[in-house]
Structures are given as C-alpha cells and as structure tokens.
C-alpha cells in the first residue's frame, strides 16, 4: 500500500522552525549540488525555488523504524513495508519582491526520462527515480566494502541528487535552489502538534485501505484522521464517489491551505510547545540541503502561512500501461510551457495560473460541471472555495472543499 506524504509538512516546518533556526543544529543536511537553470529558462533575481519531496518510507533519516504508535495511527504497517518512492513532489516558486508564490504538484505516476539512468533504467514513473538510485548506489557501495551506515547515507544523498535533477529536467530545465525531504512520521507529528485541523469535503466518503471515514462538509480532524485524509485515493463504500491519485494530490494541496489557516488563526508561531514539537520533528524526520538558510526564509514562510500562495497540478494527457505498470502519459512540451508561464506570468496583474487553466479540459477524467463547481472570474481563479476538478488552480486563504 503506497502512502502520499503531505507536502504541506515541509512548509509548516520551515515556517515555524525558521523563526528559531539557531536551535536546528540537529536537522539532517545533505551536501549535494542543486541544479541550475538550463539555457533559455528565465529566472529572475531574488526568486527562490524549493522542491518538496515526500517519501513513501517507514523509516527515519537514519533508516531506523518509527515508534510503534505512529505505525498504528497511520495505518502504514511497519518498517518492512514500503520503499523510497517520492509519492509527493511539489515545486514551490517564491517570487521576488513579495509576489504571490505558486506550488506546482507533479503527479507521482508521470512517465518521464530519468536524468541519471539508475541501474541502466532510462525511463519510468517519476516517483521511482529516488528508490532506484538509492538501491543501486547502496548495493554498489556495500559490495565494495563500505559499512552499512555510511553506504546508507551516501545512497540517500545520491537518490536526492538524482530525483532533483530529473524533476528539474521534467519541468523544462528549471533551477532548483533548495529541497525539503519529509516522511510519513514527520507529517503525523506536525498534525499532532496543531490538531484539530478543519477540512471540507464535497461528499461523504470512506476507504478501508487508508482508514478514511468522513462526512460531507466542514469538519475538524485529528492527526490520525489527517493521515487518512491525505492518503485516500479510492472509495470502498459509496457507489457514486470516484477518486483517483489526482484527487489525492488535490487533498494534499487542500490540507496545506487548511493547515496554513490553522497556523495563522491559532498563533502557532508564538506557541512555544507547538514550536518545540515541530523543531523536534524536523530534526528526526526532515532533511534539507546544506545551503538552505532557514532564517533567511522566516519572513517569507510566515507570509505563505498567511495564505499568499496558489496551487496547480500539472496535467495528465491520459492513463496508460507500460511494461505492465499503470502510468500517467504526459506531454513534455506542454509541461515545460506551463511551468515557464507560471514562473514568468505575462503581467503583474494577470493570474499566475492563466496558462495551465485550459489544461483542465484535457484531464483524463472530466468533472460533471466542466469546472471547479463555481463560476470562474475573468482571471480564471475560482470565486468560491469548492473544487471538483483536480486541475483547477487552488487559491489559498480559506479552507477549500474538495472531493
């Protein structure tokens, strides 16, 4: 059973711990080279690009098991299950001079070219590059006599490097300045620190695989329910509820906004106990690059927690099967064009999601109303907070209602 890791975790951790960065000596830092922009990819001075990677891993940054209470709460069996797939990949672009940020979600099963060809494999699901590179590197190192602990950390670094470069190339050769890597345990601990959190669903839904069991409408959920909320990609009870991986990506974005609303309203930044818990979580379950100066991001992170960000899911042309595996078939040129327009909107007044808005009509599953359940404004942004189309840009600022 695969698990989608909530990408918001990284943003929440950054937002809080950046304020007290002097206490982060224990956070895991990875000394890898970050990809610069390819020729022809515009990148303005002062902008920052961060890749959030959520691992389908049941172990911490040292390869050690989670406490049993976490496995019990998140319906994730134990350390022997799962691998090192990056089931969440979110590219966060922070504009210069206080402009609106954008979060770009990459569906985990997109079929792409690998930048490094791990173990001779040149193509595959984008989520699998990390795990393939980790295993190939670890096997090579231990085979040459490197001790397990050293081989493990070096293999994790090689996997991060490979995954980041593949994402950079897939998005059109964009620059990636920093990364944040999180695990399921990190999400759960953050949710514990700030629970209860308000979410909203368009319909009642239940799923025995993730443990989801939710009513329709606004509701408050605890940490264990939050894990089910972001994991669910199917319904096993209601005949009229049809969910896919794209809906799970939408849930992750919605929860990110809901958590930002909670962080702002609950004044978490001044709650010492909550900050202490988030700092401890960061040290055990989060990894960042060596050059990431969290203190310099403090003011920006708090602004984003206040709602100054819009989320976009990259389009899938169709679902297909390659080598016996279900994959997302994507248009590489279209993806590059969408990302280019998001990073460089045509004018200061135009919505940063104008270009990919049309892509929603190309989604592999069309919504019954052809949109997000609300009337679009002239800029293409929704006028309500209800979303039924997984590719409609999601605007922050209020708790979204999703499938």
In the chain, the largest separation of any two C-alpha atoms, in whole Å, equals 63
Residue 1 lies in a domain: no
Buried b (16+ CB within 10 A) or exposed e, 217-252: eeeebebbbbbbbbbbbbbeeeeebebbbbbbbbbb
371 within some domain? yes
Say if 2 falls within a structural domain: no
> Residue 349, Cβ neighbours under 10 Å: how many?
7
Of residues 8, 50, 52, the one with CA closest to residue 253: 8
| pLDDT tens readout for residues 206-260 | 988 888 899 999 999 998 899 889 888 888 888 888 888 888 888 888 888 888 7
SS3 assignment, position 391: coil
- In sequence order, the 6+-apart residues with CB closer than 8 A to the CB of 86 are 53, 54, 55, 56, 108, 126, 127, 129, 130, 163
* Residue 373 domain-assigned (yes or no): yes
CATH number for position 341:
3.40.630.190
**Residue 393 maps to a domain:** yes
Supply the pTM of this predicted model: 0.82
Per-residue confidence in pLDDT tens, the chain, 403 aa? 222 233 344 444 444 444 444 455 678 889 898 887 776 676 666 788 999 998 887 888 888 888 888 888 777 676 666 678 998 899 999 887 767 788 899 999 999 999 988 888 999 999 999 999 999 999 999 999 999 999 999 999 999 999 999 999 999 999 999 998 888 888 888 888 788 989 999 999 998 888 889 999 999 999 889 988 988 888 888 888 888 888 888 888 888 888 877 776 655 556 666 666 777 777 778 888 988 877 666 666 666 655 678 888 999 999 999 999 999 999 999 999 999 988 887 664 444 444 343 333 334 443 333 333 333 333 333 334 888 887 788 888 789 999 8
- Indicate whether 219 belongs to any domain: yes
Give per-residue pLDDT as tens, 280-329. 777 778 888 988 877 666 666 666 655 678 888 999 999 999 999 999 99
Q: Where are the alpha helices (DSSP H) in 48-181?
A: 68-74, 128-143, 148-170
Tokens (6 digits) for 371: 């949109």
For residue 248, the enclosing domain spans 8-402
- Using alpha carbons, select from 60, 73, 84, 72 the residue that is nearest to residue 2: 84
Size of the chain, expressed as the number of residues it contains: 403
In a domain, 349, yes or no: yes
Instruction: Give the whole-angstrom CA distance, residue 28 versus residue 8.
Output: 19
Tracing tokens 């991060």 back to the chain, one arrives at: 160
Domains contained in the chain, number: 1
């Amino acid at each position: 059973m695969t698990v989608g890791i909530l990408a918001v975790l990284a943003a929440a951790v950054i937002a809080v711990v950046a304020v007290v960065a002097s206490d982060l000596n224990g956070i895991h830092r990875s000394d890898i080279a970050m990809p610069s922009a390819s020729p022809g990819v515009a990148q303005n001075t002062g902008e920052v690009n961060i890749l959030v990677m959520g691992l389908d891993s049941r172990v911490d940054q040292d390869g050690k098991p989670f406490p049993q209470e976490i496995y019990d709460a998140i319906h994730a069996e134990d350390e022997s299950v799962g691998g090192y797939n990056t089931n969440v990949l979110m590219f966060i672009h922070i504009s210069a001079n206080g402009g609106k940020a954008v979060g770009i979600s990459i569906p985990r099963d997109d079929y792409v070219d690998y930048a490094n060809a791990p173990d001779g494999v040149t193509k595959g699901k984008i989520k699998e590059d990390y795990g393939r590179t980790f295993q190939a590197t670890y096997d090579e190192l231990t085979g040459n006599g490197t001790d397990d602990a050293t081989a493990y950390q070096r293999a994790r670094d090689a996997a991060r490097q490979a995954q980041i470069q593949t994402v950079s190339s897939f998005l059109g050769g964009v620059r990636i300045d920093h990364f944040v890597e999180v695990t399921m345990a990190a999400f759960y601990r953050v949710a514990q620190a700030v629970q209860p959190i308000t979410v909203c669903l368009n319909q009642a839904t239940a799923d025995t695989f993730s443990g989801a069991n939710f009513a329709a409408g606004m509701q408050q959920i605890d940490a264990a329910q939050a894990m089910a909320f972001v994991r669910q990609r199917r319904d096993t009870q209601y005949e009229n509820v049809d969910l896919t991986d794209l809906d799970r990506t939408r849930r992750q974005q919605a929860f990110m906004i809901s958590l930002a609303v909670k962080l702002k309203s609950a004044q978490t930044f001044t709650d010492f106990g909550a900050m202490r818990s988030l700092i401890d979580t960061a040290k055990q379950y989060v990894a960042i690059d060596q050059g990431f100066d969290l203190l310099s991001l403090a003011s920006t992170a708090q602004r984003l927690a206040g709602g100054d960000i819009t989320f976009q899911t990259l389009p899938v042309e169709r679902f297909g099967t390659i080598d016996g595996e279900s994959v997302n078939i994507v248009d590489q040129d279209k993806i590059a064009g969408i990302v280019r327009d998001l990073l460089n909107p045509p004018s200061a007044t135009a919505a940063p999601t104008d270009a990919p808005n049309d892509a929603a009509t190309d989604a592999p599953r069309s919504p019954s109303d052809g949109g997000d359940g609300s009337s679009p404004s002239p800029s293409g942004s929704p006028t309500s907070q209800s979303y039924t189309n997984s590719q409609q840009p999601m605007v922050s600022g209020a708790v979204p209602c999703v499938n």
